[in-house]
Every structure is written in structure tokens, then in C-alpha cells.
């Protein structure tokens, strides 16, 4: 398909101009609509991060060590599914509705169904419960690859403008935090209103969240457009696993982003996963979980609204580094100071809000690395690039589960007990506070030394791509040079 044919397809589908240069602007509707996509993601993805561990251990009766093993094994399955999804997405022809949006929408419907299934547990023997948990979660993860890949890639073809991408990143992070916020203060109360934290009530509460997720994805699908016209002639060859490896190994900023996200996302997931345990046992009142989430995530939603201004003033990388320092200090103090509701609430809110800013900017980084990959190799592989990043998020989820559920197993956690041992309480606190402090220190080192695309360098890359050039020539005419990291 030529550039002109591509432009005609987009023009027929949407009434807005098809060609966006580096300084083009998105309207407010598109920015808000894009954020609704991660709102939908959050009602399904983040819901699982926060409550599946509790559901499997306390309600289904699966041991903490087995739960940790389920997460690890499923991620090995995802290691295969992510590149397969990427191959399908990158090889897909551009249709009337674009390249990414239709795949995202159909897959989101299936993801909503599987979200409810993962929070369903048949009354069978323990071996079958474990098999059902692992199998349903593996299918959920495979479907998620076909949702998050096209959704994440969508931002890279909406605009190349740095400020606009920062605003898209803010909108996306607002959507994610908005879903975490609603799930955090509503999910448990819904079950309590239905009669308690039973297997059946987990299913009904997850159904409510999945329906909200579907509505959010519909709004995202209807409100976004694929504006940037891409010369895909050089990228039209069939993809394979070697292309997946090449997308990572020749893309240094992507490698840095993948490694950084392993620690940032696992830190956020640990907070979400262990908050219910901390409130119930360390603070002695499970109802405080909703209050803590209301304050912590609510403050984070306010904080990320400053991302565009911070990025324009300090640049993406410096803003991320400054936020990491604040989060490290807040979490470190929370570990050292004796457990107290008020000091814990203040410090966990500061740490979580500070972490939310780098996690928001990450989405702008992702779009930049997609463009960098095209500029560096002469071939554009949105699906492959985003699949590598998406897999790091899934690994982060697995890491969080191993740290959280593994700690419960090691310290002798007793399911459904009215109280836990002092060793277990210390373990819960360490996972909630010390782990994020150490993980974010590692993330700061990674992003500082490995991520090598400054905002000024990205502007040069965007300008080259707008003019049809890559690092060694004209896109589609000279793509035989062997790129290096």
C-alpha cells in the first residue's frame, strides 16, 4: 500500500486531515477518548493485579506458594503469546477503521468475558481449582496481548508532537489511575453489599467492572483517529520471532524502558495487591483499604495532571528521575517509621503519586521508542515494539506476585485468620514499602544510563520521519544497512 493509498483510507474513515507533522495538534476529544482506553484496561487488568491473589488464596483456598507459581508459569505462556499477537498486528492490512482500533475493540469484548471467568471458581477438588485458575488466567493473558498491543501502538500514529504525546500519556495514566481508584474503593464494598467476599460475589463484582471496561473501550474506539500517515512499504514483509528480537536488541531506548518498567510496574502492582492485606492485618480494619485507595490514588490522579507542564519545563527524563527520588525517600521512610495509620497514609500517598508520574510519562516513551525503531532500522514495527514493552509489564506483574505471595508463604500467612504472626506483619510491611524503595532505585539507574533519546534528539527523529527519512537514507529505498544499538 502506498502513502497515498494509506492517506485515502484514513481520510475515508475519518473527516479530519490525514497528514500530521511534528507540530500538529490533537483536539481535546481525541485526548480524552484515548485515556478511556486505559480506563477500560484498568477495570480488567488492574482489577486482577489488586484482587486475584486475595481471591485465589482466601476464597479459593489455593496456597500462596502455588499462587506465585501460577503467575510465573502463565508469564512463560505470555512470552509466546506477545510476539504472536505482535506478528498478527504488524502484518494486518490497514482497513476502513485503521490498523489498530478494530483489533483493540474486538479483543476488549473477549477480555471482559475472561475477566469475569478469572474471578469465577467452580466447586471442585483443589487440583482442578488450580488448573482452572491457571488456565483461565493464561487465556486472559493471551487475549490481553491483542487488546493492549494495538491500544498502546495507537498513540504512535495519533501524533508525533512531544507536547501532544505528553498529554496523551497523561490522559492514559489518568484512565489507568481512575480505574484503580474506582476498583480500589468500590470492589470490596460491592461484595459486602451482596453479602460478603464469597466466590459468587467476586464474580458479580468483577462483572460490574468488566461492563464499565467495555463502555470505556467503546468511547476510546469511537473518539480516536489514526492520524499519522506511515510509509509501510518497507515494513510489509512477513514478520517472525527474529523480528521480535530485533525490535528489542537494536532499540536501546526500548531496552531501557523494558528494564525500567519491570521495576516501576511491579512496585505499583505490589502496592495494589498488598494494600488489602496491610489494611486487614497491619492496621486491623479491612475497611481502611477503600479509604487508603481513595486518598492514595485520588492524589495520584491530581498529580499526573502536571505531567505536560513538567515535561515541557524539565524534559521527560529529568522529570522521571526527580519523581523516582521522591518516591524512594517516601517509601524508605514508611518502612523505617513504626506503623501508624496517619504517617502510613501520608507517605504511601506521596510515594504512589510520585511513582504515577514516571508511569504516566512511560506511555510517551513507548511512542518515542516506536518512532526511534523506525528511524534506526528503516522499518516500522509498532506491534513488535509494543509487545516487548507489554511483556515487561506482564513480567512485572509476575514479579509482584512472587514478591507478595511468596512473602506470605515464607512468613506463614494463614488464610482467613483473624490475625497474623509478627513475622507475617513485618513481611507485609516490607513488601508494601521497602520493595518499592529498592525497585525504584534500580529503575532510576536503568533509565539514567540506558535510555538515550532526549527530547531534542526525538525532535530530529520526528522531523526525519515526517520527511520520509531514516538514519541511513530514504524509507523504502535504502533499508539494507545493519543497525546497531
164-205 residue pLDDT tens: 888 888 898 889 889 989 998 899 999 999 999 999 999 999
Closest CA to 33 of 187, 313, 227, 319: 227
Sign of CA dihedral 190, 194, 200, 203: negative
> Does an H or E element contain 415, and which?
none
Q: Is the pLDDT of residue 316 over 50?
A: yes
Whole-number Å distance between alpha carbons of 379 and 242? 14
Sign of CA dihedral 31, 85, 140, 47: negative
Residues pairing with 95 in the sheet: 98
Alpha-carbon separation of residue 345 from 353, 370, 447 (angstroms): 12, 38, 28
Whole-number Å distance between alpha carbons of 83 and 239? 10
DSSP state of 95: B
SS3 of the chain: helix, strand, coil, percent, to 5:
75, 0, 20
Alpha-carbon separation of residue 393 from 31, 207, 263, 450 (angstroms): 23, 24, 9, 18
Residues pairing with 473 in the sheet: 470
Inter-residue contact 375 to 471 (CB < 8 Å) = yes
Inter-residue contact 199 to 121 (CB < 8 Å) = yes
pLDDT of residue 478: 55
Closest CA to 334 of 443, 439, 430: 430
pLDDT of residue 473: 86
Closest CA to 99 of 158, 15, 40: 158
DSSP track, 172-232: HHHHHHHHHHHHHHHHHHHHHHHTSS-HHHHHHHHHHHHHHHHHHHHHHHHH----S----
Cβ-Cβ contacts under 8 Å for 325 (sequence gap 6 or more): 444
pLDDT of residue 1: 36
Whole-number Å distance between alpha carbons of 465 and 382? 14
Q: Which of 128-132, 174-178, 452-456 has the highest mean pLDDT?
A: 128-132
The average pLDDT across 415-420 equals 92
Inter-residue contact 461 to 375 (CB < 8 Å) = yes
Average pLDDT of every residue of the chain: 86
pLDDT of residue 152: 82
Tell me which long-range contacts 468-475 makes (C-beta under 8 A, separation of at least 24).
468/231, 470/374, 470/375, 470/376, 470/377, 470/378, 471/375, 471/376, 471/378, 472/378, 473/378, 475/231, 475/233, 475/234, 475/374, 475/378
Closest CA to 210 of 120, 133, 354, 111: 111
Express each pLDDT in 225-280 by its tens digit: 887 766 555 555 555 566 656 666 789 999 999 999 999 999 999 999 999 999 99
CA 57 to chain centre: 24
- Higher-confidence position of 392 and 282: 282
Whole-number Å distance between alpha carbons of 34 and 38? 8
How big is the chain by its Cα radius of gyration, in Å? 22
b/e for 190-221, b at 16 or more Cβ within 10 A? bbeeeeebeeebbbebbbebbebbbebbebbb
Closest CA to 303 of 402, 403, 170: 170
Express each pLDDT in 347-386 by its tens digit: 999 999 999 999 989 888 988 898 898 898 887 877 778 7
**How much of the chain, in percent, has pLDDT values that exceed 90?**
57
Number of H helices, E strands in the chain: 18, 2
Residue 390 binned pLDDT confidence (cut-offs 50, 70, 90): confident
Residue 42 burial (CB count, 10 A): 25
Whole-number Å distance between alpha carbons of 399 and 435? 11
The average pLDDT across 283-295 equals 94
Quote the Cα angle for 281-282-288, to 5°: 80
Residues pairing with 469 in the sheet: 474
- By three-state DSSP, how is residue 233 classified? helix
Cβ-Cβ contacts under 8 Å for 335 (sequence gap 6 or more): 429, 430, 433, 434, 437
- Least confident range of 57-71, 149-163, 165-179, 209-223: 149-163
Amino acid at each position: 500500500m502506498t502513502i497515498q493509498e494509506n492517506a485515502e483510507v484514513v481520510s475515508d474513515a475519518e473527516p479530519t486531515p490525514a497528514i500530521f507533522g511534528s507540530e500538529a495538534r490533537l483536539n481535546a476529544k481525541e485526548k480524552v477518548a484515548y485515556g478511556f482506553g486505559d480506563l477500560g484496561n484498568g477495570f480488567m487488568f488492574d482489577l486482577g493485579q489488586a484482587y486475584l491473589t486475595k481471591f485465589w488464596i482466601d476464597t479459593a483456598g489455593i496456597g500462596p506458594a502455588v499462587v506465585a507459581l501460577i503467575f510465573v508459569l502463565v508469564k512463560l505462556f505470555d512470552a509466546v503469546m506477545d510476539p504472536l499477537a505482535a506478528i498478527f498486528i504488524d502484518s494486518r492490512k490497514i482497513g476502513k477503521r485503521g490498523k489498530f482500533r478494530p483489533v483493540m475493540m474486538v479483543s476488549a469484548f473477549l477480555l471482559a468475558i475472561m475477566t469475569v471467568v478469572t474471578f469465577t471458581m467452580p466447586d471442585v477438588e483443589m487440583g482442578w481449582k488450580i488448573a482452572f485458575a491457571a488456565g483461565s488466567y493464561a487465556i486472559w493473558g493471551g487475549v490481553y496481548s491483542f487488546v493492549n498491543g494495538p491500544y498502546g501502538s495507537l498513540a504512535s500514529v495519533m501524533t508525533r508532537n512531544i507536547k501532544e504525546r505528553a498529554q496523551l500519556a497523561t490522559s492514559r495514566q489518568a484512565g489507568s489511575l481512575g480505574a484503580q481508584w474506582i476498583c480500589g474503593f468500590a470492589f470490596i464494598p460491592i461484595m459486602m453489599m451482596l453479602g460478603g467476599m464469597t466466590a459468587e460475589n467476586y464474580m458479580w463484582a468483577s462483572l460490574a467492572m468488566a461492563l464499565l471496561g467495555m463502555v470505556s473501550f467503546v468511547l476510546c474506539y469511537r473518539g480516536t483517529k489514526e492520524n499519522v500517515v506511515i510509509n509501510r512499504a518497507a515494513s510489509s514483509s512477513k514478520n517472525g520471532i527474529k523480528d521480535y528480537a530485533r525490535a528489542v536488541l537494536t532499540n536501546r531506548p526500548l531496552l531501557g524502558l523494558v528494564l525500567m518498567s519491570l521495576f516501576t510496574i511491579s512496585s505499583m502492582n505490589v502496592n495494589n495487591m498488598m494494600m488489602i492485606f496491610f489494611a486487614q492485618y497491619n492496621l486491623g480494619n479491612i475497611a481502611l483499604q477503600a479509604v487508603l485507595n481513595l486518598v492514595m490514588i485520588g492524589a495520584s490522579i491530581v498529580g499526573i495532571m502536571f505531567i505536560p507542564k513538567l515535561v515541557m519545563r524539565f524534559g521527560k527524563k529529568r522529570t522521571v528521575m526527580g519523581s523516582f527520588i521522591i518516591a524512594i525517600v517516601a517509601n524508605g521512610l514508611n518502612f523505617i517509621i513504626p506503623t501508624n495509620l496517619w504517617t502510613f497514609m501520608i507517605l504511601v500517598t506521596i510515594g504512589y503519586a510520585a511513582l504515577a508520574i514516571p508511569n504516566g510519562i512511560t506511555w510517551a516513551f513507548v511512542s518515542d521508542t516506536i518512532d526511534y525503531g523506525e528511524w534506526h532500522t528503516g522499518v516500522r514495527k509498532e506491534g513488535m515494539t509494543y509487545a516487548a514493552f507489554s511483556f515487561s509489564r506482564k513480567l512485572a506483574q509476575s514479579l509482584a506476585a512472587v514478591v507478595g505471595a511468596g512473602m506470605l508463604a515464607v512468613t506463614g500467612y494463614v488464610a482467613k485468620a483473624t490475625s497474623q504472626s509478627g513475622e507475617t506483619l513485618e513481611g507485609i510491611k516490607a513488601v508494601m514499602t521497602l520493595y518499592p524503595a529498592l525497585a525504584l532505585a534500580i529503575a532510576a539507574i536503568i533509565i539514567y544510563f540506558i535510555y538515550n533519546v532526549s527530547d531534542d534528539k526525538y525532535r530530529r527523529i520526528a522531523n526525519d520521519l515526517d520527511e520520509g527519512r531514516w538514519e541511513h537514507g530514504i524509507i523504502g529505498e535504502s533499508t539494507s544497512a545493519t543497525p546497531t544499538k
